[in-house]
C-alpha cells in the first residue's frame, strides 16, 4: 500500500506541474499582462519601472519559476478587482459552493435510490420505462436551460421561490450557511434541484443496474426460499449490497458537481466560487482565474488518487498487478 | 424493448436480397421513436442549411430590424407586415429567424468539432491499439488523465485562457472530446487486431497505414459512429452552456446558447419568449440526436443480438 502510494504520488505531482505550465503559459504568456496591470495613461518610464517591479523583464523560465515558488506558498497574487489575496477570495466563497454541492448530492441519493429501486425491481412496468426515459432526459438536457425554465415557472409565474441569491445565512463553524434558515432553504431549493438533476439520473441508473444484478444472486434466491418477507429481502439483502457502490460513485462524483456548480451558480446568482470565476473571466481578473484553476486541478488530482487507492483496497487484482 | 420483436428471423434469407445496408435500415426503423428522431433531425439540419431562405427576416441585418417592434409577444404582426410567430427581442429581432440562424452556428460548431475529434481520436486510438507497448501506454495514460477531469472544467480552462470565439470553442470541444473516441477506437481495434484478416493483410506485407485505415478502421466504425452521434449532442449542449456563461461564441455569431443567455435578462420581467423558444429548439435538436444515437447503439451493437 505504501509503495503503491509512493509510486502514485510523483505521478500526481507531475500532473500538477504540467497543469501549472499550461495555466502559466495560458494566463501569462498568451495575453500580455502589462496591458492589464499597467494603466494605459502611464508614461514610458513608469511602464518600464512597473515591468521591472512585476518581474516581467525576466526571461520566461525565470518568471515561471517565481510563479511556481509563489504557488507553493499559496500565493497566486491579489485580485485586481477586490484587491485581496485571490486564494482568500476563493476560500471565502467555498462554503457556498460546498453547501450547494453536498445538498444536491444528498438530494440525488434521496430521490434517485427509490426510483432506481423500483425500476430495478419491476423493469418491464410502464412506470419503470418512464423513470428510465426521465433519467435519459436528466442526462441530455442542458442543465442551464432547465434552471431557466424553473425560474420562469416557480419565480416569475407562480412566485413561490426566490430567483437568486443565498437568502438569510447563519454563522456556524467559521462560515455562513443558508441551510439553517427557512429563507435560506427557500433560496437553496431551485439551485440544489437543478444541480441534482444529473445526479438523480445517475443514481437511478446505478441503483437499477445494481438491483437487477443482485436480485439474481444466490443469496437473494436463498432468502426467498427461506420465506423472508419481500420488504426484508429488499431492505436488507438488496439495498445493503448496492448501497456501497452507489455511494462510492456518487461521492467520487462530488468533484464534477463542484465544477458544474459554475453553471448553476451563474443562473441563480449563487455567490459561490463558480460565479466568482465566471465574473473574474469576464473582467480578466487573472490571479483569481489562476487560483481557481489550480485549486480545481489539485482537487481532481487528490480525488483521482483517492479513487486509485479505493480500488486498490477493494479490488485485489489491482493490488497484485502493482507488485 | 422493440428490438426483441425483431430478433433474427429463423427462416433462411435468400442471398443477394439482404444487403448490410438494407438490414441496417430494417433494424433501425423498428423503433418508431428513433424514426421520429431522425425525421426531426433531418428537418433541423435542413432548416439550418436553408436558414437564409426560410427565415422571414435576416436577424443580423440592422436595416431589416425595427426598434418599434421590440419585445413583441409571440404571434404579433409587426411593422414588416408579417407576424412574429415567436415574438421579438428588445431590438425588434424576429426570434424565429434568430433561432434559424442560431441553429446554423450550434450545428456547425457541434458537428465540426465532433468530426475533428473523431479524426484525431480514432487515429490515436487505432495507433495505440495497433502498435501497443509504449505508444499505447503513452496515449492511453493521457486519455485517462484527461477523462478524469470533467468536460466543463477542461473547456473552462481552455476558454478562460484563449477567450471567446467560434474557433476557440471548437478547439475546446475537440480537446474535450477526442479522448472518448480514442478510448472507443482502441477498445474496438484491440478486438479486431487479433482477427485473421489483419493477419492475412500483414502476411501480404501491406503498408501499415493501409492496414490501419483500410482494414482496421472500417471494422471499428460501428462503435465509433454510436459514440460520435452521442458526442455531437453533448458538443452542442456544452457549446450552449459555455455560450450561456459568456465564454462561448462571440455576440456577432449567436448560437442557440447565446440567444438563451441574451433572453435570460428579460425573463424576470415576464418576457419569457426571448429565452424560452431558443431553448426549445436546442432541446428538440439534442433529444432528436440522442434518440437516433440510442437506436444506432441497439442496432450496431453485436452483443445485443443473439
Distance CA B43, CA B285 (A): 10
Which pLDDT band holds residue A231 (cuts at 50, 70, 90)? confident
Q: How far apart are the first and last CA of chain B?
A: 14
Best mutation target among B155, B160, B175, B270 (most A Cβ atoms within 10 Å) is B160
Find out whether B224 and B184 touch, Cβ atoms under 8 Å. yes
Q: Hey, is the C-beta of A278 within 8 angstroms of any chain B C-beta?
A: yes
Residue from A144, A163, A304, A310 whose CB has the most chain B CBs within 10 Å, to mutate? A144
Q: Which residue of B has its CA nearest to A291?
A: B157
pLDDT in tens, A25-46: 777 655 565 666 666 677 778 7
Q: pLDDT at position B1, please?
A: 42
Minimum-distance CB partner of A300 among B149, B245, B264 = B149
At B119 the pLDDT is 93
CB B234 within 8 A of CB B181: no
DSSP-derived 3-state class of residue B88: strand
Q: Chain A within 8 Å of B276 (Cβ-Cβ)?
A: yes
User: What is the separation of C-alpha B105 from the centre of its chain, rounded to a whole number of angstroms?
Assistant: 12
Cell numbers given for A174 = 467559521
Distances (CA, A) of A91 to A102, A176, A184, A187, A205: 17, 12, 20, 22, 34
Give residue-wise pLDDT tens across range A126-141: 888 888 888 878 877 8
Alpha-helical regions (H) of B194-255? 196-203, 208-210, 217-244
**A150-154, A160-164, B79-83, B242-246, range with the lowest pLDDT:** B79-83
Q: What does pLDDT average to over chain A?
A: 81
What was the pLDDT predicted at A29? 58
Residue closest to B73 by CA, chosen among B279, B274, B282, B280:
B274
**Under an 8 A CB cutoff, do A259 and B145 touch?**
no
Distance from CA of A258 to the nearest CA of B (A): 10
pLDDT in tens, A172-197: 777 777 777 777 778 888 899 998 99
Cell numbers for A120 = 430495478
Q: Can you spell out the DSSP letters for B109-141?
A: HHHHHHHHHHHHHHHHHHHHHHH-HHHHHHHHH
B162 or B242: whose pLDDT is higher? Answer: B242
pLDDT confidence of residue B117 = 93
List, for residues B73-103, the tens digit of each pLDDT value.
776 776 666 777 677 777 767 788 888 888 9
CA dihedral in degrees (A60, A65, A69, A74; nearest 10)? 40
**Residue B142, pLDDT above cutoff 50:** yes
pLDDT confidence band for B113 (50 / 70 / 90)? very high
Residue B118, pLDDT score: 93
Label each residue of chain A as H, E or C: CHHHHHHHHHHHHHHHHHHHHHHHHHHHHHCCHHHHHCCCCCCHHHHHHHHHHCCCCCCHHHHHHHHHHHHHCCCCCECCCCCCEHHHHHHHHHHHHHHHHHHHHHHHHHHHHHHHHHHHHCCCCHHHHHHHHHHHHHHHCCHHHHHHHHHHHHHHHCCCCCCCCCCCCEEECCEEECCCCHHHHHHHHHHHHHHHHHHHHHHHHHHHHHHHHHCCCHHHHHHHHCCCCHHHHHHHHHHHHHHHHHHHHHHHCHHHHHHHHHHHHHHCCCCCHHHHHHHHHHCCCHHHHHHHHHHHHHHHHHHHHHHHHHHHHHCHHHHHHCC
What local confidence, expressed as pLDDT, does residue B3 receive?
A: 47
pLDDT tens sequence across B148-207: 788 888 888 888 878 788 888 999 999 989 999 999 899 888 888 888 888 888 888 888
Q: Which of A140, A163, A259 sits opposite B153 (nearest CB)?
A: A259
Q: Give yes or no for a contact between A259 and B150, defined as CB atoms under 8 angstroms apart.
A: yes
Number of residues assigned to chain A: 323
When mean pLDDT is compared across A105-119, A261-275, B13-27, the lowest value belongs to B13-27
Lowest mean pLDDT among A283-287, A307-311, B149-153, B301-305: B301-305
User: What is the reported pLDDT for A106?
Assistant: 92
- Nine cell digits for residue A69: 515558488
Instruction: Categorize the per-residue pLDDT at B112 as very low, low, confident or very high, splitting at 50, 70 and 90.
Output: very high
Residue B252's pLDDT band (cuts 50, 70, 90)? confident
* Between A233 and B268, the higher pLDDT residue: A233
Q: By C-alpha distance, which of B247, B254, B117, B116 is closest to B183? A: B117
To the nearest whole Å, the CA of B14 is away from the closest chain A CA by 36
Of A9, A145, A223, A144, nearest in space to B276 by CA: A145
- Pick B267's closest partner by Cβ from A26, A27, A152: A152
Decide if pLDDT at B11 tops 60: no
What is the percent of chain B with per-residue pLDDT over 90, rounded to a whole number? 9
Q: Closest to A148 (Cβ–Cβ): which among B148, B150, B275? A: B275
Strands B83-84 and B76-77 turn out to be antiparallel
Q: What is the largest CA-CA distance in chain B?
A: 75
Instruction: Kindly report the backbone phi and psi dihedral angles of residue A321, in degrees, each rounded to the nearest multiple of 5, phi listed first.
Output: -60, -35
Indicate the SS3 state at residue B84.
strand
Could you tell me the pTM of the whole model? 0.82
Distance, in Å, from the CA atom of A280 to the CA atom of A79, rounded to the nearest integer, reads: 9
Phi and psi angles of residue A221, each rounded to the nearest 5 degrees, phi first: -60, -40
CATH superfamily of A87-278: MetI-like (1.10.3720.10)
Contact A140 B290 (CB under 8 A): yes
pLDDT band at residue B71 under the 50/70/90 scheme: low
CA-closest candidate to residue A319, choices A310, A280, A133: A310
Of the given ranges (A44-53, B35-44, B82-91, B244-253), which has the lowest mean pLDDT? B82-91
The pLDDT assigned to B121 comes to 92
**Which is nearest to A70 in space by CA: A236, A291, A273?**
A291
pLDDT of A123 strictly over 60:
yes
Which residues are CB-neighbours of A223 under 8 A, at least 6 positions away?
A232, A233, A237
| DSSP secondary structure string for all residues of B248-301 | SS-TTS--HHHHHHHHHHHHTTT-THHHHHHHHHHHHHHHHHHHHHHHHHHHH-
Asked whether the predicted pLDDT for residue A9 surpasses 50, the reply is yes
For chain B, give the percent of residues with pLDDT over 70: 85
Per the model's pLDDT, the better-predicted residue between B118 and B266 turns out to be B118
Residue of B nearest to A162 (CA): B268
**The Cα angle at residue A89 between residues A84 and A91, in degrees rounded to 5:** 140
Q: Where do the domains of chain B lie, and which CATH numbers do they carry?
A: 31-48+94-304 (1.10.3720.10)
Q: Give the whole-number percent of chain A exceeding pLDDT 90.
A: 5
Q: Give CA–CA dist B50/B124, Å, rounded.
A: 36
Provide the pLDDT for residue B181: 92
So where are chain A's domains? 87-278
Q: What is the pLDDT of residue B2?
A: 45
**Angle formed by the axes of helices B273-300 and B217-244, to 10°?**
160
- Supply the pLDDT for residue A156: 79
Could you tell me which residues are beta bridge partners of residue B76? Answer: B84
Q: How far apart are CA B184 and CA A59, in angstroms?
A: 43
Q: Which residue of A has its CA nearest to B233?
A: A140
The pLDDT of residue B115: 92
Amino acid at each position: 500500500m505504501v509503495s503503491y502510494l509512493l509510486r502514485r504520488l510523483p505521478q500526481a505531482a507531475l500532473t500538477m506541474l504540467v497543469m501549472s505550465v499550461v495555466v502559466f503559459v495560458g494566463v501569462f504568456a498568451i495575453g500580455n499582462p502589462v496591458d492589464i496591470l499597467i494603466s494605459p495613461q502611464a508614461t514610458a518610464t513608469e511602464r518600464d519601472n512597473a515591468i521591472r517591479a512585476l518581474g516581467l523583464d525576466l526571461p520566461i523560465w525565470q518568471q515561471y519559476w517565481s510563479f511556481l515558488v509563489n504557488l507553493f506558498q499559496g500565493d497566486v497574487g491579489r485580485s485586481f478587482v477586490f484587491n485581496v489575496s485571490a486564494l482568500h477570495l476563493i476560500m471565502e466563497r467555498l462554503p457556498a459552493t460546498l453547501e450547494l454541492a453536498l445538498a444536491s448530492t444528498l438530494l440525488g441519493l434521496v430521490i434517485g435510490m427509490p426510483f432506481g429501486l423500483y425500476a430495478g425491481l419491476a423493469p418491464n412496468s410502464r412506470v419503470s420505462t418512464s423513470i428510465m426515459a426521465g433519467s435519459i432526459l436528466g442526462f441530455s438536457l442542458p442543465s442551464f436551460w432547465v434552471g431557466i425554465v424553473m425560474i420562469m415557472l416557480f419565480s416569475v409565474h407562480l412566485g413561490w421561490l426566490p430567483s437568486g441569491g443565498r437568502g438569510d445565512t447563519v454563522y456556524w463553524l467559521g462560515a455562513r450557511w443558508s441551510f439553517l434558515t427557512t429563507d435560506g432553504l427557500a433560496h437553496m431549493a431551485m439551485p440544489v434541484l437543478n444541480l441534482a438533476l444529473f445526479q438523480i439520473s445517475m443514481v437511478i441508473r446505478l441503483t437499477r443496474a445494481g438491483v437487477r444484478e443482485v436480485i439474481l444472486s444466490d443469496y437473494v434466491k436463498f432468502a426467498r426460499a427461506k420465506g423472508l418477507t419481500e420488504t426484508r429481502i429488499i431492505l436488507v439483502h438488496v439495498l445493503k449490497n448496492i448501497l456501497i457502490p452507489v455511494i462510492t460513485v456518487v461521492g467520487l462524483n462530488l468533484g464534477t458537481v463542484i465544477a458544474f456548480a459554475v453553471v448553476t451558480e451563474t443562473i441563480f446568482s449563487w455567490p459561490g466560487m463558480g460565479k466568482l470565476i465566471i465574473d473574474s473571466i469576464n473582467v480578466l481578473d487573472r490571479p483569481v482565474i489562476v487560483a481557481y484553476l489550480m485549486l480545481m486541478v489539485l482537487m481532481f488530482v487528490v480525488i483521482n488518487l483517492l479513487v486509485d487507492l479505493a480500488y486498490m483496497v477493494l479490488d485485489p487484482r489491482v493490488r497484485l498487478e502493482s507488485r | 424493448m422493440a428490438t426483441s420483436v425483431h430478433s433474427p428471423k429463423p427462416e433462411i434469407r435468400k442471398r443477394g436480397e439482404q444487403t448490410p445496408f438494407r438490414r441496417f435500415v430494417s433494424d433501425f426503423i423498428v423503433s418508431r421513436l428513433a424514426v421520429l428522431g431522425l425525421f426531426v433531425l433531418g428537418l433541423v439540419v435542413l432548416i439550418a442549411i436553408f436558414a437564409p431562405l426560410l427565415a422571414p427576416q435576416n436577424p443580423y441585418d440592422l436595416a431589416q430590424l425595427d426598434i418599434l417592434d421590440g419585445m413583441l409577444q409571440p404571434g404579433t404582426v409587426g411593422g414588416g407586415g408579417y407576424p412574429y410567430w415567436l415574438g421579438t427581442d428588445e431590438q425588434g429581432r424576429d426570434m424565429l429567424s434568430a433561432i434559424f440562424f442560431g441553429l446554423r452556428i450550434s450545428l456547425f460548431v457541434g458537428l465540426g468539432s465532433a468530426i475533428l475529434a473523431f479524426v484525431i481520436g480514432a487515429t490515436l486510438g487505432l495507433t495505440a491499439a495497433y502498435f501497443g507497448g509504449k505508444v499505447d501506454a503513452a496515449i492511453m495514460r493521457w486519455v485517462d488523465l484527461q477523462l478524469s477531469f470533467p468536460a466543463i472544467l477542461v473547456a473552462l480552462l481552455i476558454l478562460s485562457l484563449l477567450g471567446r470565439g467560434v474557433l476557440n470553442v471548437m478547439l475546446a470541444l475537440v480537446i474535450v472530446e477526442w479522448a472518448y473516441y480514442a478510448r472507443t477506437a482502441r477498445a474496438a481495434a484491440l478486438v479486431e487486431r487479433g482477427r485473421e484478416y489483419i493477419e492475412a493483410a500483414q502476411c501480404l506485407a501491406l503498408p501499415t497505414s493501409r492496414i490501419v485505415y483500410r482494414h482496421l478502421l472500417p471494422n471499428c466504425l460501428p462503435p465509433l459512429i454510436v459514440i460520435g452521434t452521442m458526442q455531437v449532442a453533448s458538443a452542442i449542449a456544452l457549446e450552449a452552456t459555455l455560450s450561456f456563461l459568456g465564454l462561448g461564441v462571440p455576440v456577432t455569431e449567436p448560437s442557440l446558447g447565446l440567444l438563451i443567455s441574451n433572453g435570460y435578462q428579460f425573463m424576470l420581467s415576464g418576457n419569457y419568449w426571448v429565452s424560452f423558444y431558443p431553448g426549445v429548439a436546442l432541446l428538440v435538436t439534442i433529444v432528436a440526436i440522442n434518440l437516433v444515437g440510442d437506436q444506432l447503439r441497439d442496432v450496431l451493437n453485436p452483443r445485443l443480438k443473439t
